[in-house]
Amino acid sequence: MQENPKIYEEGIEKKERRLKMHVGRIWPPEWREYTDPKTGVKVLQLTNYKGHSHHIYFTNSGWYDDNRRLLFGSDRENRTNLFSINLETGEITQLTDLAPTEPPYEVQFLATCINPVRDEAYFWYNQRIIALDLSTLETYALWELPLGFLPSMLNCTSDGKHICAGIFEDLSSRLRIDYLRGYVGFKETWEARPLSRIVMVATDGSEAETVWEERTWIGHVNTSPTQPNLITFCHEGPWDKVDNRIWGFNLETHEAWMIRPREDGEAVGHEYWLLDGVHIGYHGRWPDGNSLLGMIRYDNTDRVEFKFPHKTGHTHSNDFSLIVGDGEDVVRLWRWNGEKLEGPRALCIHRSSFHIQQVHVHPRFSPDGSHVLFTTDASGYGNLYLVETPEFEELPRINEV
């Protein structure tokens, strides 16, 4: 660890740096292992602090340093900062020391992303996109949000050259909004059709460009993990009422198109890229009320969908052969054998309150598929949990727990 890591102060000016007291600070391991009382699976609780901790949003991988470290956000000492945990030792390193900011620009790290070709992370702070060198812990500002706009998800292109972000018109002066705590103002924002943009910002700070703009609420800009010119974005709002949830976009041609066009009565969303960078996973509901799990290629070919019992809040998979989801107090797994969907099987109990976005379960696989990561506030505070992916047949069926 560098003895004197540097970080830009609250003004985030490129040439004005000063040492921050707690950047690089080491926190002792907090992890503990326990056996899930319903499934018998070993669960490793990674954090244990009297304040909420959470992993970054499930569409963004927080693993880095050859998967030896994991990023997470945490509320400690009455501040919210970015941390990393060493998955071999349990030691926690504080990566930022940021002063609190007021809503709707409050400090939070759900939208954080990592550059896939170098150890550098990007997050929103004080209406700016900030780059953080994960080795030196130096930071610098890349781009500033235009006045009158609110930020959304950040994602880095597969070549590491650009960050893509959705931004949308700030309606807080005329609507009561609090998307992080109970989706307050969610339907009203959708109905207001805020001016929204997709921006592409160079990771070297050299340029920034608005590549798409429309008067429909845009959210969840996700970059393909293998194709640097491809992203998805969503038309945010009630899934069964938006014109179409999932959209594709070509950063080179600026062409936009519907992905998995929605039929009347359907609800589809929580889209994410599979590791191949050409297929997209999602879940939703058919008009008859049956829940569905699906996968489709970005050009609307290779569509595969399955009906499944029960409900889920989010799903994730690396290659669609094994799918993880949450909902109804249980983290569960499905398996696709190439012909049919098997499961769900119960992985472990989560008991999340879902009270705020930071404690949503948001389960996802590690990049190599060996573990499932999730967050829950079952202990009273949000914490991160990691479970080694077991053999599917060893897990009980949902109705057995």
Residues 14 and 120 both lie in one domain:
yes
Q: Which pLDDT score, from 0 to 100, does residue 270 have? A: 96
- Least confident segment among 99-103, 115-119, 160-164, 310-314: 310-314
Burial class (CB in 10 A: 0-12, 13-18, 19+), 279: buried
**Is 162 in contact with 115 (CB distance < 8 Å)?**
no
Domains identified in the chain, total number = 2
Q: Which pLDDT score, from 0 to 100, does residue 178 have? A: 76
Residues 244 and 192 both lie in one domain:
yes
Confidence of residue 94 (pLDDT cuts 50, 70, 90): very high
Residues 318 and 247 both lie in one domain:
no
Alpha-carbon distance of 33 to 44, in angstroms, equals 4
141 in a domain, yes or no? Answer: yes
Residues 57-69 pLDDT 10s: 999 999 999 999 9
User: Above 80 in pLDDT, residue 8?
Assistant: no
Report the pLDDT averaged over residues 218-227. 97
Residues 82 and 201 both lie in one domain:
yes
117 in a domain, yes or no? Answer: yes
Residues 72 and 193 both lie in one domain:
yes
Taking phi over 0 as left and psi of -120 to 50 as alpha, with beta for the rest, 380 belongs to left
242: containing domain: 1-29+59-258
- Least confident segment among 17-21, 69-73, 288-292: 17-21
Query: Which residue has better confidence, 310 or 367?
Result: 367
Residues 245 and 375 both lie in one domain:
no
328 in a domain, yes or no? Answer: yes
User: Above 50 in pLDDT, residue 181?
Assistant: yes
> Tokens 């293998």 belong to which residue?
226
Residues 96 and 230 both lie in one domain:
yes
CA 145 to chain centre: 20
Q: Please tell me the pTM assigned to this model.
A: 0.92
User: Above 90 in pLDDT, residue 2?
Assistant: no
Q: Which pLDDT score, from 0 to 100, does residue 5 have? A: 31
Residues 223 and 82 both lie in one domain:
yes
